[in-house]
């Protein structure tokens, strides 16, 4: 029960990770903008193969982080993020 309460009272993030093929691992890239109450992202293709459009929700982005539960009970907004990916050159 304590874990459930503690989980609800701390900020959350939606993070972007990438697969590093040569090392067979995931690598952290960034957190999407939020105030600690976001999740449930949706991803669609962008205008090119190098773009993805991500929609997620959070409170207004200005201000300090909120506990997840407080953010869930307040006004939230749908945010649209355009992610552009560039190939990583690998040198031997």
Q: What integer pLDDT is reported at residue 76 of this predicted model?
A: 85
How far is residue 28 CA from its own chain's centroid?
Answer: 11
Instruction: Please report which helix (H) or strand (E) contains residue 68, including its range.
Output: helix 68-73
Mean of the pLDDT values across residues 70-91? 83
pTM over 0.95: no
For 9-20, write each residue's pLDDT tens digit: 988 888 889 899
Using alpha carbons only, give the angle 52, 15, 77 rounded to the nearest 5 degrees: 75
- The answer to whether 71 touches 58, Cβ cutoff 8 Å, is yes
């Amino acid at each position: 029960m304590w874990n459930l309460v503690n989980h609800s009272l701390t900020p959350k993030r939606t993070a972007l990770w990438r697969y590093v093929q040569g090392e067979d691992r995931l690598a952290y890239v960034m957190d999407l903008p939020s105030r600690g109450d976001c999740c449930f992202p949706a991803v669609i293709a962008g205008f090119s193969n190098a773009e993805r459009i991500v929609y997620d929700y959070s409170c207004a982005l200005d201000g300090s982080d909120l506990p997840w539960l407080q953010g869930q009970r307040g006004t939230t907004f749908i945010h649209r993020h355009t992610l552009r990916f560039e190939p990583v050159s690998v040198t031997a």
